[in-house]
Structure 1
């Protein structure tokens, strides 16, 4: 089972950290956490994201969709990074999420990543995706 841990923080938490925490301490804590995930064999991916000023939002409420450059004044929480873990159960995902070295004003949203098997196996696009995965991802090779 794969789970995505989505790191979210408030702009206030971001400001507090920037003004009060040595960035090398953050890197060390995250590095140690990532190393623990890797040694346990559960980390498939994990990345931090740049600030919202380097991003954009595509709003599909109109046709054509509207692109708005960051930063986003309406954002109450910022999506700062993620991990994708391959674990045996939701309980194991919870255990790893609780160990993440985050502080006040930061949350982890944890969601199971859909698997091809979750969908109708007779659907032509699900069949194509299975073929693409077998051809391109060694984890799915037969």
Structure 2
């Protein structure tokens, strides 16, 4: 089963990862990739570089960032291969724990619909 772990951040805190955090994260990413658990991961550019595309009542509109009304945003993701949701949560906990006490982060873990599942398919 595949899971998407999306990390939520407060974008305008000015907090940047230390060199040690980046090195530790690199080691964890390498370990999890070799184990076949981590399929892909990336950080996302700030909302000031993004555009929201919205469909409302059949009309499509776009809004350029930043989005000041949004406190927390998705700052990155990890695509995980896991045997269960609980296993995916444990992998996500490892990502968060590596950040230490100075970070306040939250991840949302969601299972991906596989071909033939969900979306009206049986």
Q: TM-score, normalized by length of structure 2?
A: 0.83
Task: Name the SS of the counterpart of 1:111 in structure 2.
Answer: strand
Greater relative contact order (CA < 8 Å, ≥ 6 in sequence): 2
Task: Name the SS of the counterpart of 1:41 in structure 2.
Answer: coil
Higher helix share: 1
Aligned twin of 1:105: 104
**CA separation of 1:50/1:26 partners in 2, compared to 1, >3 Å: closer, same or farther?**
farther
Listed as ranges, the gaps of 5+ residues in structure 2 are none
Question: What is the Cα deviation at residue 32 of structure 1?
Answer: 1.8
Q: TM-score, normalized by length of structure 1?
A: 0.72
Q: How many residues align?
A: 116
Aligned twin of 1:6: 6
Question: What is the Cα deviation at residue 62 of structure 1?
Answer: 4.6
Listed as ranges, the gaps of 5+ residues in structure 1 are 122-142
